[in-house]
Amino acid sequence: MMKQIHLRQIKLWVVATMVAIGVMMTGVPIQAIQLADGTVYFAVPPRLVDASITRQSVADSNVAYYFDLAIPNDAGESLQQIEITQRDADLFTREVDFELDKSQAFVGRRRDRHQELGIGTTTYNEDTHTVTVTLDPPVLPGTELTLRLKANRNPRRSGVYLFGVTAYPEGAIAHGQFLGFGRFHIYDNDHYHWRSLV
């Protein structure tokens, strides 16, 4: 069974690669890849450009987590949904509690903000520790955007925190493309106290 799944993934990758190469050679505008079952793929997936945080001490309040994405011109489809999944969040002291109703998305970067983008829904799956943001309307190819997630406070334990970012194209049946991890360092309060004395 696992071998069949692996072979199917290879076939999908080959199909996607051949379509992309064919489009580049013919100069035809790139369109999203849609399989026979209706599943939509990005022709070229978005990129996770950067991830940053406003405060880095344990238990800091009023914290914002930023995820900067770039949708290439040849993506073939608009960006409809973003998933942010925290790894190793099963311990209460490591979980980040986001205020879903304060989520924001906008064109540009954290320090170069432009027009705000519409958010249809923002949900949280407690089992997978995943925040799902649905953009309404979907964001067009060629756009650089930032997703801002507001947290009640930082985790109570210091360390490195990883948040996986997955992007979904517009479509009734959309295939999520994993873009990578946003990596954040949370420090004990005495870390900053020591640095201030140096």
Domain ranges across the chain = 45-197
Residue 177 in contact with residue 42, Cβ under 8 Å?
A: yes
What's residue 156's pLDDT? 92
What's residue 124's pLDDT? 97
| pTM for the whole structure | 0.80
Segment-wise mean pLDDT, segments of 10 residues, the chain, 198 residues: 50 48 47 80 97 96 97 97 93 90 96 94 96 98 98 94 98 95 92 45
The CATH superfamily of 45-197 is Domain of unknown function DUF4466 (2.60.40.3550)
What's residue 9's pLDDT? 54
What's residue 111's pLDDT? 87
- DSSP H/E element including 189: helix 189-197
* 118 DSSP 8-state letter: P
